[in-house]
Amino acid sequence: MILYVNSCIRKPSRTDDLARELLNKLGGEYEEVKLAQMHLKSISNERLEKRTELVKEGKFDDPMFDLARQFAAADTIVIGAPYWDLSFPAKLKLYIENIYVMGIVSKYSEHGFPIGLCKAKKLYYVTTAGGPYLPDYSFDYITTMATQVFGISETKLIKAEMLDVVGYNPERIMKKAKETIEL
């Protein structure tokens, strides 16, 4: 199963458009998580205590873990995230905070290092930027989480940048980005 984590808020969204082109090239059906429509909560003390207790009791079927189970079961993951303020929308960080469940997406080795439990071997990160794109606090963060925590061995960046800079042609940039998508 392909999982599309859609953190695009704006409609229409150039990032969503580029991500859907990738999904078409991947082929097949996919499940979409529309973060803009979700009421994700940050991990408060109360939620953390509940999560800790459920994990300790091995109650991984609790609805609190639905997103984590879905993420861990995906064969391929596509994240659509516009480049905002040198990063990505806060909803994506909340999503990651909610799926990061020990015993579902990761576990600790005997030496205390994370061992990924996710089924996916590849994660695609799709983004668009009005100006130049710097991956430090977006793609690089996702790559670290995917490869060092979730056990996803490969990440791939698909981007279109300079879309709002005077003198650049956004239609041409988007067309080229779509044409050059490599699986």
Q: What is the pLDDT of residues 58-71, one digit of tens each?
A: 999 999 999 999 99
pLDDT of residue 105: 98
In which order are the strands placed within the sheet that holds 76-80? 30-34, 2-6, 76-80, 122-128, 154-160
For residue 183, the surrounding DSSP H or E stretch is none
What secondary structure letter does DSSP report for 103?
T
Q: Which residues in the chain land under pLDDT 50?
A: none
Residue 34 β-bridge partners: 6
pLDDT of residue 102: 95
Domains of the chain (ranges; CATH) run 2-179 (3.40.50.360)
Residues 6+ apart with CB under 8 A from 101: 51, 55, 60, 65, 68
pLDDT of residue 28: 87
